[in-house]
Chains A and B, each alone.
Chain A
Amino acid sequence: MIKAVMVINTQGKPRLAKFYDFLTVDKQQELIRSVFGVLCSRAENVSNFMEADSIFGPDSRLVYKHYATLYFVFVFDTCENELAVLDLIQVFVETLDKCFRNVCELDIVFNYSKLHTILDEIVFGGQVLETSSAEIMKAVEEISKLEASSNSITLVPKTVSGWRNR
């Protein structure tokens, strides 16, 4: 079971946080802070694992990958394999890369909902349901299309940026 997925930048700002068990916002903030506290103290080229028992309770594991300015963090329990989850982070990032063509932090900042859409195709209620980046892309593109078409029904864009973009 995946317990949480986080994307945190190197300044400690969360860019995406998804907890698969309900937690209050205060608790979420506290967890992200403590994870970042340990992450930023770790040297480069050490292992991608972090002892997470003290933060997430016994038997939790945490793997992370560091890409440019972002940490991708997955927290999970004994039902997942550490190396497989590392591969999953790779799949996630590859998919982002395909979606945004050379993904960078700004893409992630501005495409908050799309990020959730992608992640929801990979992890469903804490279970990993899809590991193929092609399948994920397929679903995400369909969903985006559907969103776009449902939005275009609104004939007059009501928002400021909608006006601007015209």
Chain B
Amino acid sequence: MASPSLMDTLFQRTLDDIIKGLRHQQAGESAFISKVVEEIRREIKSTDLHTKSIALQKLTYLNSIYFIDMSWAAFHAIECISSPNFSHKKVGYLAISMSFNESTSVILLITNQLRKDLKSNNEFEVSLALDCLSRIGTADLCRDLTPEVFTLLSSSKVFVRKKAIGVVLRVFGKYPDAVRVCFKRLVECLDGTDPQIVSAVVGVFCELASKDPRSYLPLAPEFYRILVDSRNNWVLIKVLKIFAKLAPLEPRLAKRVVEPICEHMRRTGAKSLMFECIRTVVTSFTDYESAVKLSVAKIRDFLVDDDPNLKYLGLHALSIIAPNHLWAVLENKEVVIKSLSDDDPNVKLESLRLVVAMVSESNVVEICRVLVNYSLKSDPEFCNEILGSILSKCCQNVYEIIVDFDWYVSLLGEMSRIPHCQKGEEIENQLIDIGMRVKDVRPELVRVGRDLLIDPALLGNSFLHRILSAAAWVCGEYVEFSRKPVELVEALLQPRTSLLPPSIRTVYIQSAFKILIFCLHSYLLQRENIADDMASEMLGLKSQGECSGSSALVAGKAPARQEQDEGFNPRDSNKSYEDLSIINEGDVSALLEKGFTHESIVNLLNLIELALGPLSGSPDVEVQERSKNVLGFVDLIKQEISNGFVSERASKIIDMVHDAFTEELGPVSVNAQEKVPIPDGLMLKESLADLDAICGNVQLPSSISFSMGSPFGESVGASVSIPQSKEESEPSSESTSLLAEHRKRHGLYYLPSEKNETLANDYPPANDPKSSDNTNDDAQDLVKLADKSLLPKRRSNHAKPRPVVVKLDEGDVVPFIAKKSDTRDDLLSDAVRDILLGVEKPDLGNPSSRRSKHRSHGKEKSRKSPEKKNSDEIGDGEKEKQKSRHRHGRHKTKQRAEGPLNVAAQTPVIPDFLL
């Protein structure tokens, strides 16, 4: 490439020229930038460092403001920092700190230059190098430069020393072994008198302690001294943050610290410090009644302040304290509820959280009613926040606060119809979950599901599809509670279902199939019953069974007709139901009330055939497969029940499929799969390759589309797919027995289903008309409601006890996965512990100095000698260990193994301070 011409060097544009140029560009900004970048690429190769540095400066500007890549200029930046000229150096360092990262290949080339600048006599050059190291320091850089940083920690210039302290954080993070070198000096800085130094070092300890507080417990006396002595708000805030981490680890420390914190709270006029005190108390000192009372009083001051920031933080503090001290929220409920209609979305969110925190068993119905009304008036985003928080609050601890599940299920139905609702997935999960867990609510669940399914308008809203899928599943699974199954089938197969995605359509088809089986089965039963009745009635008359059968059929026809005429009119469902029962009065069983006649069955079969016919050519495999299955079955049954006879074979098939479908599906523990022991000799992965070859051209039936993404994940998918596989091999009785066997084997993981079927219709109406007209005065209502919830009385209209909610012993808790801490963190905390226990030794040996310090605050009591002896002993023990370690050299694995030992040993290090 051509070297830069003289013209380029002579007439190089400065950064200012570029900025001016960019300001004059109205449209062609990007063209201008690419032209400038071209120039820079040329200029930066200049041998003249001045030209180079200006080019680099321009590039850095474009990188930071116009997001132009500058990684290609890494080497030029290094050339700039090696210039003796300060301004070149500065440009170079800025470029490096903006663009270098771990993967920059030339990064190690700067080690020597950094070392040189760290040793420079010019404090500003040192500052540049330190700043650079704090931004881009890698493990290698930090290791190589630790000695220089250590020297700078005792620099006489405050300007340099505070930055050296700052860089220690990066060095420790990247190279934990540096702790052994620098830590002691860092701790000494805590005692310094210069406020800038103390501020810097406390900041570093705040960062360190936030990651691993336990290691810094031995430093508690130092922090305590700063807490009591310092008058610098910035420092006090950091110390409070440290104590918020340390206090939960050591109750004695908390006891000691709580009073000074309260003192600051009473004294200070700075809102930032005040808020930090409040936050510290409400997060880590919730057991200290007087401190909590004081902070709640201060929170109230925040809440009524005109400054929206303080109001927001006040609400935020309330939400931290809510789980432990709900009274604090209830005391401020007016403000909280008023904030629900604040202009500020943050304030609205916080107050929503608090309102939800106030929800309890006794007021859940009313508060949810008001919140749902609020959501109707809110913007879409906040509306979904409201719905989301209602949903998550209500399902907490397996629906702990829900007593009236009929109400809750109808609320879910209602929420689905809110125009902005995007909580489809959550509602879907809860509908299915409740169906599986709460037996008593199934009739209501089917009613809600039906109302959703028959509304053709809902199919157009893609956010509702998942809810519809749950509704379809529920209606299929619990069809026995449906009053008009035929209507359900019609709803499931209505033309607008073509708007559904295939995965949900398959659920629809499967549900329709389940309902069909149920209808056929009822029809069979009904026939048998009639036959039995007739047989017993006409026993003496020697009449022919066939004749009586047909007469019964004629009698049954009328109501069935009527039912079909009514079609989709949901309002009349009760009426026709009553009519039906009057007509069939007395002489038939409950099942017969569904009034299936031969004709209605044939109509049903025809309907299914008509609706599913086109789907058998669907491009979606799953839809195609399922509709083909159903169609095949319909075809078979049709042949078998022609002319009003039901063949032996058909009834057997129907019986069997029905049996499979009536198998109850319970909730499955998330851990269930793990509990299944792998049988001996089972090679899970060995012959997969063979399988691939075998199955190459076979369509594997996937059960995924039927597992509805329920909270139980895979396991439910698996258990749901059992009936499906059954359906595919229907004519054989083998599968039933297989299923039974499977259940017997894994019975442990299903749930025993209690037989307390109490079908009740005496619930109070789900949508209480009382509460639905108070849409207008929401806020006032909520205040009243919260008032109510203060009284421990239970709601009077709980006519029924809470239904049984199936709970798993331990499976409902998401398995706790221990967070694997970074090995680097481990190394760091190990190193800090080693050093600290070593560092503390001189202090323990010479307690008088520390004691005099504390005596000056009049807090120190005389210590018990056995404790001291104990700690001294441990100190000695540490010394021994330390020595032996020296002998063994730096043997990392050994240190790691000793980690827990140190944890156990460190507690006694601070008792002299605590007593």
Residues of A whose CB lies within 8 Å of any CB of B are 1, 13-18, 20, 22, 25-26, 28-29, 42-43, 45-51, 78-79, 81-84, 86-87, 109-110, 112-113, 116-117, 120, 124-131, 135, 139, 142-143, 146-147, 149-151, 153-154, 158-162
Contact = CB atoms under 8 A, between A and B. Distances in A.
A109 B166 contact: no
Contacts of A161: 14, 16-17
B230 to A, nearest CB: 14
B203 A127 contact: yes
Contact of B271 (A47, A83, A129): A83
Contacts, number: 173
A79 B86 contact: no
Nearest to B203: A127
26 contacts: A22-B100, A22-B136, A25-B63, A25-B69, A47-B308, A47-B346, A49-B346, A51-B345, A78-B210, A79-B210, A82-B309, A84-B276, A86-B309, A87-B272, A112-B65, A113-B94, A127-B166, A129-B199, A131-B199, A146-B122, A149-B86, A150-B85, A151-B85, A158-B10, A160-B11, A160-B13
Nearest to A151: B87
A159 B65 contact: no
Contacts of B170: 125
Nearest to A23: B101
Contacts of A22: 100-102, 136
A43 B343 contact: yes
B96 to A, nearest CB: 11
B206 interface: yes
Contact of B68 (A25, A83, A139, A149): A25
Interface stretch (B49-57, B176-184, B431-439, B875-883): B49-57
A79 to B, nearest CB: 5
Interface residues of B, number: 75
Interface string B40-70: 0000000010110010010001011101110
Nearest to A50: B346
B332 interface: no
Contact of B67 (A28, A47, A139): A28
B656 interface: no
A101 to B, nearest CB: 19
B153 interface: no
Interface of A: prevailing SS: mixed
A142 B206 contact: no
Interface in B253-282: 271-272, 275-276
Nearest to A45: B308
A46 B12 contact: no
B343 A110 contact: no
A128 B94 contact: no
Given A79-B241, A124-B134, A125-B131, 8 more contacts: A1-B207, A42-B345, A46-B343, A49-B346, A112-B15, A125-B167, A130-B196, A147-B90
B64 A143 contact: no
Given A22-B101, A129-B162, A158-B51, A84 B237 contact: yes
B159 interface: yes
Contacts of A50: 346
B136 A84 contact: no
Given A17-B64, A116-B94, A128-B234, A147 B86 contact: yes
Contacts of A130: 162, 196
**9 cross-chain pairs, A with B, having the tightest CB-CB distances, nearest first:** A125-B134, A83-B272, A46-B344, A22-B101, A47-B308, A25-B67, A150-B86, A84-B272, A47-B312
B260 to A, nearest CB: 18
A22 B67 CA distance: 14
Interface string B231-243: 0011001100100
Interface string B559-586: 0000000000000000000000000000
B9 interface: yes
A43 B17 CA distance: 36
Nearest to A138: B159
Interface string B826-867: 000000000000000000000000000000000000000000
A14 B308 contact: no
